[in-house]
Structure formats: C-alpha cells, structure tokens
Amino acid sequence: MSKRRRLSAAAFLWLPVGVVVSSHVAGGVTAQAADDARTIVEEAQRRTDAKSQRYEGLLQVFDARGRISDKRWTFERLGSHGQSRAVLRFVAPPEVKGVALLVVNHPDRASDQWMWTPAIERDRRIALQDRSTRFFGTDFSFEDLEERDVNQFDYVLAGEEPIDGFVCWKIQSTPRRTKSSQYTRSIVWIRKDTYALARIENYQKDKLVRRLDYSDIQNVQGIWTARRMEMADLTRGSRTRLTLDRLQYNLPLKEEDFTLQAIRRQ
Amino acid sequence: MLFRLISRPYFRRHVLRTMLTIAGIVLGVAVFVGMHTANQSVLMAFSQTVDRIAGKTQLQVTAGETGFGEEVLEKVQSASTVRVAVPVIEAVVDTNIRGQGNLLILGIDMTGDRSLRDYDLESGDDAVIDDPLVFLAQPDSVIVSNEFAGRNGLTTNSRLPLGTIEGEKLFTVRGIMKSSGLTSAFGGNLAVMDVYAAQKMFGRGRTFDRVDLAVADGRTIAECEAELGAMLGAGFTIEPPSGRGQQFEAMLAAYSMMVGISSLFALFIGMFIIYNSFAIAVTERRAEIGILRALGATRGQIRWLFLGESAITGVIGSLGGVVFGILIARGIAASIGSLITDVYGVAQQAGELATSPALLMVALGIGVATSMVAAVIPAYQAARVDPVHALQKGKYQVLSAGESRARAVAAAVLGAVSVACLAAPSIGGSAGGGSRPLFYTGYVLAVVVALLLSPLLALTLARTLRPILRWIRPVEGALAADSMIQAPRRTSASVAALMLSLALVVAFAGMARASYDSIIDWMDTAFNPDLFVLPSQSVVIRTIRFPKEMGAELASIPGVERIQMVRSARIVFRETPVMAVAIEIESLAETSARPPVAGDPAAMYRLTASGQGLMVSDNLAQLQQLSVGDMLEVPAPAGVIRLPIVGVVLDYSDQQGTILMDRTLFEKYWNDDSVNVFRVYLDDPASVPAVRQRILERYEGVRQVFVLTNGELKEYVLKITDQWFGLTSVQIAVAVLVAILGIVNTLTVSITDRRRELGVLQAVGGLRAQIRRTIWIEALSIGVLGLLLGFALGAINLYYILQIVHHDIAGMRLDYAFPTGVVVALVPTILASAFIAALWPAEAAVRGSLVEALEYE
C-alpha cells in the first residue's frame, strides 16, 4: 500500500480533522477537480504527520441557556492517522478525575474505543452503534474523534472561499458505502497558505448539524496547529470549545502505555 | 304480565329471603370477579412495567434469570439486523424507607440507552443525562422517578439509602425524571443507575440480565430474531418485551389455576343457594301455580315465569357481585403482590385494577347463567304442578319412593363410571396420571353423585337422628326431626350447600396439611446446615448475589466445618420457567442425601457430581413427563447441556420444578460462579450463635450479609407456605359464609312454610321457648347433617385435589392425610354458625301474630 493510500484524514489534533471532502458540488465536477481535492487533503494530512503528540486540553461546553461547564484532560497520541493509539484522561472536575478513554485507530475500519472508570474499576467498550452519540456531554460525537482513512471518502473540490481572511480550498467529502457514518457529507475548508484546516461543516441529509471552527493556528514544531477549536451543535444551539495547552509533538512515548491494561493501572 | 302480577308481589312479601338469595350470587360472582380482576391486575402491572421499561425496544435477548457474559452484547451489536443494542440489569432493592417497600433499579448504559428510552429530567443538571461521564464516574449516582421523589420528598442531591451487596449504601439523586411511561413503571418506584455500577453493587460480576435492542432500518423483527437465534444458540431467548409477561404468567400458572378452581367453586355454591331458594319458592307457591294453571296458564308460561325470576335475580346478584368483586379486588391484588414477592421473588404491585369489560361481562353472564341453571329444576317442577294437588301443601317436599330409587340408581351408575374413570389411568399405565379429561370427568361425576345422594342421605341421617333428638328433647327434638324428614328436599338443598362448602374446606385443609408435612420432611434433610448466609433478607430474591471467593473466606472462620455454595436461578426449559439449582453435589451427598423417588442413590450423586448426569425434582418429572434415563436438553448461554436424568428427587424449591446439577457444570455453561446462598456446617452445632456473630463481624461494613439459623430458615419457608395458603383460607371463609347463608335461607323458609303448624302449636299451649328450641334443634341438625356429608365428600374431594396438585398444578407428590384438626375445629364453628343463623328465624316464628299464623294459607 502506498503512503498516499495510507494517509488518513487524521489531523494535527486527533480531533475531527480527518473528515474530508466530497462531491456535493452540483454538476460540473471534473475528474481533475476530484483528483486535486484528494491531493490537497493528503498534503494537509502529510503536514500533520508526527510520531507522537501530547497536550492538555480545556473543554468548555456552552449550552443553549448560556451555562458553561469546564472539563480538563490530558491527551497523548502515539503514531499518526490510521495507525495511531491515543489515551485521553480527565483531570478535572474532581467528580470525573481519572476517567480515561483509549482509542485504537485502524486504517481500514472504525476505531476501537474503551472507557475506564476508576470509581468502579471497570472498563467498558464504546460500541460502534454509540459513535453518533455525544462525547460525554460535549458537542462532539464519538465519531468526530475518529481518525479516518482517506480512502474511506470521496472528495470533490467545490471552489475557494476565505475564512477569517485566509483563502481556503472548499472541499466536499462523502463517506463511501463501506464507511458507516452519521453524516451524509461534510464540507472542509483548508487554508491555501499552510494547508491547515479552517472549518468543517457536517451534514445529515441536507441539514447542517455541526460546524467546527479552527482558530489560533500556530506553528508548533513545524506543524501548523489550531490551538482552539469550537464545535457548534446547530440543532441543540450549544457549542463546545477545546483549547490546547502545552502542546508538543514527537515526544518519546511508550507503546505499552497505550493499552487497556495501562489505562487500568494509572 | 305474569311477572308483574305474580312475581313482584311475592318478592315484596319476601324481601329478606330475596336478598339472601341474591347474596348467594353476589358472593359467588364477587369472588370470581375479585380473584380474576386481582390476578389480571398483577399480570397487567407486570406487563406494563415491562412495556414501560422497554421503551422503543423491539426485541430482548435473555437467558432466563441467570443473565450472560458481557461478550454477548458485542455479538448482538455486531449483528447486521441490529440498529442499537444496549445492556440492562434489573435489581429490586429495599429502599429502607418506611412504607416505600422495594425500588426497581434499572441499570443501563447511558451512552447508547437514550436511543431506546427517554430520560427527560424534571429537575437536576441536564448534564447528568447529557454527560454520561458525570453519571458514570460516580457510581453512587441514581436518577429517580418524579413519582418516587414526590412521595419521599427527594430533590436533586438528596441522599437515598439502598441495600447493596456491600451493605447499605447512600446514593445521590443526580436527577429526577419527568413523569412518563417509564417513570410510572413498577408503580413509580423506579430508579436508574449505570449498568456497570449496578454490576458491582448487586454482585453480578461481568454479566448483564438482558440486552434490549432495536432492529436496523429496513430489516424486520423476524429477520433479526432469526439472525440472533443462529448467532447465539439455544441458550438464549430472543423475543419482544411482551414475551416476559408471558413468562411471568407461566410462572404464576399454578397460582392462577388455584384461583380459577376456587372461584368456580364459589359460584357452584352460590348456585345451590339459588336452587335452594327457588325450590322453596316453588313449594310455597304451589297453590298460586295451581290457580294459574286452572286459569289457563300453560306449563311453558309457568316455567318461564320462574326462569325469568331467576334471570332477574341473577342479573341483580351479578351486578352486585361485580361491584363487590371490584371493591375487594384491590385488597386481593395487594395480597397477591405480596405473595408473588415472597414466593416467586418477583416484586410486583398492582397500581391500578385491570377491570376488563370482557371479564365483567363473563361474570355477569356466568352469574345469570348460574342463577338460571340453578332454577331449571325448580322451574321444571313448577311447570309440572298438578292443579288438583296444588292445595295439598307440604306434599311436594316429600321425596317419593320412585324418585328416591331413581336417584339411587343414577348415583350408582354415575358412581361406577366415576370409579372407572379413576381406574382408567392404571389400565393405560401412563406415568403422567393417565387421561386427564377422564380424570376430571370422574371428579365431576363424583360430585354429581354426592349431590344426587344428598337428599337420600339427608333423609336417612335425619331418621337416624330422630331418636337421639327425641331423647334429648322429646317434644322439640321430635318436631325438628319430623320437619326435616317431611321436607327432605328443602333440607337437602341446604345440607348440600353446606356439604359442598365443607368438602372444599376439607380438601384445602388436607392439601395444606399434606404440603406442610411434605415440606417439613424435605426441609429436615435438605435444610440441615447449621447456618445459611444470604445477601438479601428475602430467601427468594436472587437479584443480589455473592462472589465465589467469599466461600473460602467463610470456610476460614473458626468453627466452620464445611461450606456449600448454592447458585439457583430460574431458566427456561421447554418454554417453561423452571429452577436450576447448582451445588457441590459430592458434598451434598455427604450431608443431605435422601432416598430418591427414582434412580440409584449412589450412582445418582456420583454421576451428577462428575457432570455426567442431572437430577430433577419429582414435580418437574411429573409436569414434564420425565423419568430416569431420559436425555435432558437444557439450553444455556454456552450451549445446550445434553445429559441423562440419573435421579428423581423430592425438591420443593419451585412450583414449576427443579433441575439439580453440579456447580462446575453451571459455571461452565452459564459462565457464572456467583453464589445465592452459602450453606454453612459447623464443627459444633452448639456454637451457632458464636459463629453467626463471627460471620457478621467479618463482613460488617464490607458486605451486606444476612445469617439465618437452620430454624429461622425453616420458619421463613413455612411463613411463605402460610402465605400461599393464606388466600385459600379467605376463599374457604367465603365458602363457609355462603353455606351459612344457605342455612339462614332454609330456616327462614322453613318457618314461613310452617307458620300454621307453629301457630297451632302455640294455640294448643306450646311455649315460645319450645318453638325456639325446635327451630334451634332443626338448625343444629342441618349443621350436623352438613358436617357429616361434608366430611365424607371432603375425604373424596381431598383425594382428587391431591391428584390435581400432583398431575396438573405443581407436580407435588403429597401423601393423603385427612385434616383431623381442621375437621374437629369445624364442628363447633359450623354448629355455632347454624345456631346463630337460627336465632332470627326462631324469634320471627314466636313473635309473629298467632291469628295471622292460623290464617296462613
């Protein structure tokens, strides 16, 4: 399998970047355009390739009534894209401290996910059927956390549009029949200057249900990375902001720390 | 026209008697309606609880009561026909709140469960629902129903004490659900918690009780059932939620059958009251009938006049019975709810009554039909009244020699047929008790024979009594005996009603005694450990269990000689819920061996202990037509156990039957090593209090443990047995009440019938006290006749009831034992009742106008 084929849609932050592009642009879509779209996506992902990643995240949920709830976690990822494993561990507030999520990504199928609950010393598998549900009260779904293989989608270049003053490629992605997804299609904006993601809009049928905006994009160890992401659930009227602190790439992480036994130990 | 001119004035003149007649039907119909409504209410409440909890669930995967390993969930979720599948644990726990009883805990996985059920919150932080993390991370989290919170003044963050495997724990109310279908399940006593926390709190290991699922879009329920059936194997049941209601109903089959028999018996007795009243009415109105016939009334008109009267009586009585039945149904339902909790370990309360219009219509129909059937013979006899003989008062009450002969011949023939029906099974040699229709035909015929013979026997007995009565009170005794002898038809109707009631009492009492004797005998061997360690106060609630490791801990406590670990669970065998009991058979053989009903004792224990055979209870063998050597196929989550039956033993653990196996077999096929009960044998039986204390101290604050002594457990089992027979006691009381009504009716009519005679007696110097005593003696004599015939029929009835219990209800082999104690107690009860029943008629007889009495007729 060529490197190009193995590139997944995973992005710099493990969070939903991978979704990419497809063909909802009506009529007039040429083979050349489709090919360009795929090339753009692959290049965007290539630029986010890293051996490992670690950050401390602040998750803020703003509900429709204006209430804000905060959670903090630490995130570590070993590998990139479809070959990666990640552990997310909540550190605050106290009532959720210690709860951990292990994600094992696969290039050819949906990831496996397990949750560890220290208070009852139990791990539980997050079933595939539950991936469309909200991720622990945030506006992200479990599916949004998956790193997807580029070959699971079809891409179509739908034009160019500026986001926050930066010119972006507008690319539509549609999951292939083999890919199980809650979304019918997604539209992704990739900045032309850095190949960094600027926005993703997710549709169910023709209804826009979630929008993810990337901001505060900085170059961290050579990788253009958004330090703040905001997912809006347009149905519920709520939004969730994820802010990344102490972000590092290519740290020496041990493979044995990314297993079910390991999250039980810690 | 005839009814307006003839019947209405008659009813007006005899208001009290009319009311007593109606009361017979009222009671019969009320018992029928009350019992069935209560039974249906409990079944409906269970089904509603299942439906409401099921939400949008289309299919449920279960493996009996045992549950199954977590891996089954993943298998189900991977099925192509399944859209969503979620795990569920149900546990019934004591709320420890006075008057609130049990709380149904629904353990669910909030991540996916909202696809099937709504958990909208009335108050509390929405995040509890929306953010499973908060809910999951805190295992003390519960969400309670609005109804339960309202009743107990609970608000968000209130603390709620609940009994768990780790002892009483304080849970935190994280949210209160809005009123909905779900929250009204189990009478509103519902709480939701994380399924994995529930596993830990209730000792479930890594198992789930069931998986609820919805079918994938575009696929049918049948397709899904087929796919899962092939995927999971025979040890699993895949059915819509309503299937659980059917299993519950099957579990209560024995109880429902008892209810049916009792209510039909009540109606039967009510029928006799009607027959009695109409037979007497025909007698009283012979002159009237004669005049009508002389004026041109046809036989048909006379017949329909009486049938019409009986229909009206039936309608009024049935309507009253329906109303009264509904009134008593709530009380009966509460009693059934308690019985089900204690006997079957399934907590269920009927929040509302299931007053089925169909049932009420059936009750009305049965009431009217019963009334009319009871009046058929009197109406037929009324139609045959000869106008010439109509004025020959009293003659009708005499039993002609021809009729006596006809009755005797009919009784002899039917009696022979009845005996032949009984003999038929032995001819056929069927192990299952032969032809059931033949057996029941024989039973009905035996009762018919008793009814046919009752006037003859009453007459014979009355003649036998006469010298005794005359010896006791020369005047009053002779008068009372003559009254009965001259009017055997009137007397026999009352005696027959009393006979039937007492036959019912004797049968139930005999069955109860036989059950007690058998259960006590069984307990003496089966329950011979010194101590029993349980995770719940209730012996039958199996939703909380111990881990296997506790066995070694208990064994290490000083004074403990031996531990036996028992795992019992209801499983589905041949579509019937039966009890699987798993225990260390080798150890059991050493401590509690008893001779089997069938099978070689040594081989039986050896083969079962080595996992090469299974033992079954006698009642299972009886109900499922099993015998030693038969290959048993027991579906389990890990496959179908195919082993021969190596022994049939007496075991009363469950009414539907028990399959006994070695623990290793159960652990292998159910992947479940949890323990329901530890049987503890001590080095020194005298050290029971000390060792009990050591066990309690060992687990104080760590685990919820109840330690019962041998005597306490037996007492508990007998208490449950008492409860089971408690309802039948109520039915017996009603039967006796109906019989007493019959005596009152008979005596009232007897007095009216003999007003002239009694008037003459007074006119020639008879004292009021003598008249009173005459009536009292007559009443007591009817009581004596009823007692004698009742005990005789009861002795026969008991035989049939024991056979029915053995072959059709519980499969229990009960030894015949006449309930002498109850019979002795019944003598003063019935005689006192008869005497009390005679007080008013006696006073009416002596206080009436002498002139009017002499002018009567």
Residue A133 sits at the chain B interface (C-beta within 8 Å): yes
- Mind listing the pLDDT tens digit for each residue in B541-562? 777 788 899 999 999 999 999 9
Q: How far is B814 from chain A (nearest CA, A)?
A: 50
The pair of three-digit structure tokens given for residue B555, joined into one six-digit string: 């064994």
Can you spell out the DSSP letters for B232-291? H-TT-EEE-THHHHHHHHHHTHHHHHHHHHHHHHHHHHHHHHHHHHHHHHHHHTHHHHHH
Report the alpha-carbon distance of residue A227 to residue A225 in Å, rounded: 6
The letter for the amino acid at A221 is Q
Chain A residues with beta carbon closer than 8 angstroms to that of B196? 117, 120, 122, 124
For an interface test with B, the pick among A122, A131, A260 (most B C-beta atoms closer than 10 Å) comes out as A122
Residue A99 sits at the chain B interface (C-beta within 8 Å): yes
Residue A121's SS3 state is coil
CA torsion B698→B702→B706→B708, rounded to 10°?
A: -10
The beta-carbon neighbor of A130 closest among B111, B136, B139 is B111
Report the alpha-carbon distance of residue A128 to residue A112 in Å, rounded: 8
Residue A114 sits at the chain B interface (C-beta within 8 Å): no
pLDDT for residue B735? 66
Tell me the pairing of strands B576-583 and B658-662. Answer: parallel
Can you spell out the DSSP letters for B334-389? HHHHHHHHHHHS-----SS----HHHHHHHHHHHHHHHHHHHHHHHHHHHT--TTT
Report the alpha-carbon distance of residue B200 to residue B188 in Å, rounded: 24
Q: Contact, A133 vs B112, CB < 8 A?
A: yes
Residue A130 sits at the chain B interface (C-beta within 8 Å): yes
Contact B136 A137 (CB under 8 A): no
Q: How many residues does chain A have?
A: 266
Tell me the pairing of strands B614-617 and B639-649. Answer: parallel
Chain A residues with beta carbon closer than 8 angstroms to that of B127? 69, 137
Cα-Cα end-to-end distance for chain B: 24
Cβ neighbourhood burial of A207 (10 Å; 0-12, 13-18, 19+): exposed
pLDDT for residue A26? 30
Chain B residues with beta carbon closer than 8 angstroms to that of A122? 196, 199-200
pLDDT for residue A27? 32
Instruction: Look up tokens 């044998």; give the residue.
Output: B681
Q: Contact, B226 vs B628, CB < 8 A?
A: no
Residue B105's SS3 state is strand
Instruction: Look up tokens 């069938």; give the residue.
Output: B598
Q: How far is B436 from chain A (nearest CA, A)?
A: 53
Report the alpha-carbon distance of residue A118 to residue A127 in Å, rounded: 20
Chain B residues with beta carbon closer than 8 angstroms to that of A117? 136-137, 139, 196
Tell me the CATH class for A23-264: mainly beta
Report the alpha-carbon distance of residue B142 to residue A114 in Å, rounded: 23
Residue A134 sits at the chain B interface (C-beta within 8 Å): yes
How many CB atoms neighbour CB B132 within 10 A? 24
Percentages (nearest 5) of helix, strand, coil residues in chain A: 15, 45, 35
Chain A residues with beta carbon closer than 8 angstroms to that of B133? 71, 90, 96, 99, 136-137
Give residues with Cβ within 8 angstroms of B103, minimum separation 6: B92, B93, B94, B95, B148, B162, B189, B190, B191
Output phi, psi for A113, to 5 deg: -135, 135
How many CB atoms neighbour CB B323 within 10 A? 14
pLDDT for residue B853? 58
Q: How far is A109 from chain B (nearest CA, A)?
A: 14
Residue B330's SS3 state is helix
Cβ neighbourhood burial of B204 (10 Å; 0-12, 13-18, 19+): buried
Report the alpha-carbon distance of residue A71 to residue A62 in Å, rounded: 12
Contact A137 B83 (CB under 8 A): no
Report the alpha-carbon distance of residue B349 to residue B41 in Å, rounded: 9
- Of the candidates B493, B488, B503, B495, which has an alpha carbon nearest to the alpha carbon of residue B377? B493
The beta-carbon neighbor of A137 closest among B85, B130, B197 is B130
The beta-carbon neighbor of A125 closest among B74, B131, B134 is B74
Nearest CA in chain A to B84: A129
The beta-carbon neighbor of A69 closest among B83, B109, B127 is B127
Contact A137 B112 (CB under 8 A): no
Contact B200 A96 (CB under 8 A): no
The beta-carbon neighbor of B139 closest among A119, A125, A127 is A119
pTM, entire model: 0.70
Residue A236 sits at the chain B interface (C-beta within 8 Å): no
pLDDT for residue B469? 86
Contact B197 A115 (CB under 8 A): no
Contact A117 B131 (CB under 8 A): no
The pair of three-digit structure tokens given for residue B713, joined into one six-digit string: 């457990």
The beta-carbon neighbor of A122 closest among B73, B126, B196 is B196
Interface of B with A (CB under 8 A): 73-74, 77, 82-85, 109, 111-112, 114-115, 126-127, 130-134, 136-139, 194, 196-197, 199-200
The pair of three-digit structure tokens given for residue B447, joined into one six-digit string: 């009762």
Output phi, psi for B547, to 5 deg: -80, 155
Give mean pLDDT in consecutive 10-residue pieces for chain A, a chain of 266 residues: 34 33 32 72 86 93 82 90 87 88 83 88 83 82 76 87 93 81 90 93 92 94 93 90 94 91 82
The beta-carbon neighbor of B137 closest among A99, A126, A133 is A99
pLDDT for residue B103? 81
The beta-carbon neighbor of B133 closest among A99, A129, A133 is A99
The pair of three-digit structure tokens given for residue B569, joined into one six-digit string: 């669970």
Q: How far is A84 from chain B (nearest CA, A)?
A: 23
Report the alpha-carbon distance of residue B828 to residue A102 in Å, rounded: 79
Contact B133 A137 (CB under 8 A): yes
Report the alpha-carbon distance of residue B852 to residue B846 in Å, rounded: 12
Contact B138 A95 (CB under 8 A): yes
Chain A residues with beta carbon closer than 8 angstroms to that of B109? 124
Contact B109 A134 (CB under 8 A): no
pLDDT for residue B430? 42
Pick left, alpha or beta for residue A211 (phi over 0 → left; psi -120 to 50 → alpha; otherwise beta).
beta
Q: Contact, B353 vs B330, CB < 8 A?
A: yes
Contact B77 A129 (CB under 8 A): yes
Chain B residues with beta carbon closer than 8 angstroms to that of A136? 131-133
Report the alpha-carbon distance of residue A14 to residue A246 in Å, rounded: 15
- Of the candidates B88, B108, B134, B67, which has an alpha carbon nearest to the alpha carbon of residue B192? B108
Q: Contact, A174 vs A159, CB < 8 A?
A: no
Report the alpha-carbon distance of residue A134 to residue A176 in Å, rounded: 23
Nearest CA in chain B to A98: B137
Can you spell out the DSSP letters for B144-199? EEHHHHHHHT--TT-EEEEEETTEEEEEEEEEEEPSSTTTTGGGG-EEEEEHHHHH
pLDDT < 70 positions in chain B: 1-7, 17, 96-101, 114-132, 181, 184, 246-247, 250-251, 254, 283-284, 341-351, 387-402, 425-434, 489, 727-728, 730-732, 734-735, 738-739, 742, 745-755, 848-857
Report the alpha-carbon distance of residue B293 to residue B385 in Å, rounded: 8
The pair of three-digit structure tokens given for residue B663, joined into one six-digit string: 């623990």
Q: Contact, B75 vs B166, CB < 8 A?
A: no
Count of CB pairs separated by less than 8 Å, A with B: 69
Q: Which run of H or E residues covers position B110?
A: helix B110-113
Give residues with Cβ within 8 angstroms of B169, minimum separation 6: B140, B161, B162, B201
ipTM > 0.85, yes or no: no
CA angle, A179 as apex, A174 and A180 as ends, to 5°?
A: 105
